[in-house]
Amino acid sequence: MQLSEQQLAAIVSMVDSSDDAIVAKDLRSVITSWNRGAERLFGYPAAEAVGQSIFLIIPEDRRHEEDRVMTTIRTGERVRPFETVRRRRDGTLVHVSIAVSPIHDASGAIVGASKIVRDITDRKRAEDRLAFLAEVGGLLTSSLDYSQTLDRAVHIALPRLGDYCNVMLLDEPGTLRHVAAGHVDRAREPIVRELAVRAIERRGLSSTPSFAETIVKTGRTHVVSHEQLTRLAETIDVSTLDPEVVRLGGELQAWAFAGAPLQVLGRTVGVISFGTTARESRREFGSADVTLLEEFARRVSMAMENARLFRETQELNRLKDEFLATLSHEMRTPLSAILGWARILASEQVDPERAKQAIDAIMRNAQAQAKIVDDVLDVARGMAGSLRLDTAPTDLVTVAERGVEGISPAASAKKIAVELRAPAPVPIVADAGRLQQVVWNLLTNAVKFTPHGGRVCVEVDRHDAYGELRVSDTGAGIPREFLPFVFDKFRQADASASRQHGGLGLGLAIARRLTEMHGGSIEAHSGGEGRGATFIVRLPLRIEG
């Protein structure tokens, strides 16, 4: 069929306006036509490409594909679309899909081939990212060990997200702590780690927030390009820097970097950052990299939270086992005494004095058991939210006095001096019985952990809008590492079977719960083992009028 000039012009126009690269070649694989789509995709203008071999855009390791394509074309068959890579003018590779059809002359003879080349870089990138994130998910969830999770996170992402990586976590006071580092060259990881640690150590020496602090403060991803990094470097007086930092920086040769917050339930808990170097890739971080980084950070955050929850569950199980062992021991001790004295009363002719001794011992040990049961029930009620207060106007000094009176026999037995200092009444609104329980628990602990001949001091006074009760002793003190957990349920500094002091480890947990229910606060202070302890309870003053 003979085409008109108008039809030919329309075909040429359509070929030129196509987004795809449309390239024609003869049977020797020499390019005979090259549309604008090919110019955009490969970077070669038509005048430069036409007359060149098609190997102009085929990488060395893909040249066998051209032989296969031309073999098929010479048979008169089309080559179905296949995916491969081709080389641009600047040397970079592009993922493409290629379909090839034979070109026939007027007589029907095959004289060449026409190929349609479609850029599939975005799709391949999306597929690669999905595959990468699937791999990340699998690897990060394969371990519930916290430190192992972070180490895996760092090394999974290299070199896809950067040439090196740092992870920093926020401690309770809000300070950053470096926890993991990685580099595509493992031998260079100490450099990455040392630079990050030194940056944290210099935190207080500059009013300008560091890269990681900016991410923590904003809760958003932050990117520094090579141009920005260069401009920043020009403003810094090198003579004011730590010479070791300068040396390490020269070794690392940072090119650009990007960081994202690690967040759990909307709260920033740390930062994961990636950098590229002049020595390795010289890459910049584009929008696609940022998207992938943020998704990676989200998955790392989830893995960290899972590891934390697993660790807490293990710790709770350990505490539960210790508590049950302690409870059985504490219950058995008074029960053994009750049974022993009951057998004596039942099997012997006992004189009145011996009988009174037995009854006193039975009552004392029964009361001790009742106290254990009450403590366990109070904790259970507190956890269930069924603990209730019956409040009324009362005087904190009166509550303290009754507490001191109640503990006096035990203190006298150990020759411990108990002193009460209360210069004036301290009016509050409270459940006097429950508040008495708080004071009793604090004083019981003070006497229990204070050696013979020691001293316990109870001070009650006003401070601003609060009444304050302070219980201090000269006893065993609280180990520094245990101090943050002293009010936790079932916690004891010495949980061993051979511990010197008895108890379930519930008294202080109950004291905190009851104090907070009154709208107050309780805190513990100690200089360490052997240096005594001080507990401070603050309760809102009663508003007079």
**Interacting residues of 406 by C-beta distance below 8 A, sequence separation 6+:** 440, 443
Tell me what pLDDT residue 485 has: 83
Residue 461's DSSP bridge partners are 468
Q: Does domain 5-119 have CATH number 2.40.50.180?
A: no
Residue 462's DSSP bridge partners are 467
Positions of E strands within 120-189: 164-170, 176-183
Tell me what pLDDT residue 495 has: 45
Q: Where in the chain is the domain with CATH 3.30.450.20?
A: 5-119
DSSP category for residue 542: P
Q: Are 430 and 539 in contact (CB under 8 A)?
A: yes
Q: What is the CATH number of domain 388-540?
A: 3.30.565.10
Tell me what pLDDT residue 348 has: 67
Q: Does domain 125-311 have CATH number 1.20.272.10?
A: no
Tell me what pLDDT residue 259 has: 93
HSE at residue 375, side-chain half, CA atoms within 13 A, is 26
Q: CA-based angle 169:171:174, to the nearest 5?
A: 100
Q: Where in the chain is the domain with CATH 1.10.287.130?
A: 318-382
Please give the chain's pLDDT, 545 residues, in tens. Answer: 443 444 334 444 445 556 789 999 999 999 999 999 999 999 999 999 999 999 999 999 999 999 999 999 999 999 999 999 999 999 989 999 999 999 998 888 999 999 999 999 888 877 777 777 777 777 666 666 667 777 877 888 888 889 999 998 888 667 888 888 999 999 999 999 999 888 877 654 455 678 888 898 899 999 999 999 998 888 877 777 788 888 888 899 999 999 999 998 888 888 999 999 999 989 999 988 898 899 888 888 887 777 777 777 777 777 677 666 656 656 676 777 788 888 888 876 778 888 888 888 888 778 767 766 776 666 666 555 666 788 899 999 999 998 888 888 888 889 999 999 998 999 999 988 888 888 888 998 899 899 999 999 999 999 888 999 999 999 989 888 888 888 886 665 444 443 444 455 677 888 888 899 889 999 999 988 888 999 999 999 987 65
Instruction: Name the 3-class secondary structure at 75.
Output: coil
Amino acid at 165: C
Tell me what pLDDT residue 12 has: 44
Tell me what pLDDT residue 319 has: 66
Q: What is the CATH number of domain 318-382?
A: 1.10.287.130
DSSP codes of every residue in 174-212:
S-EEEEEEEESSGGGHHHHHHHHHHHHHTGGG-SSPPHH
Q: Where in the chain is the domain with CATH 3.30.565.10?
A: 388-540
Q: Are 183 and 155 in contact (CB under 8 A)?
A: no
Q: Where in the chain is the domain with CATH 3.30.450.40?
A: 125-311
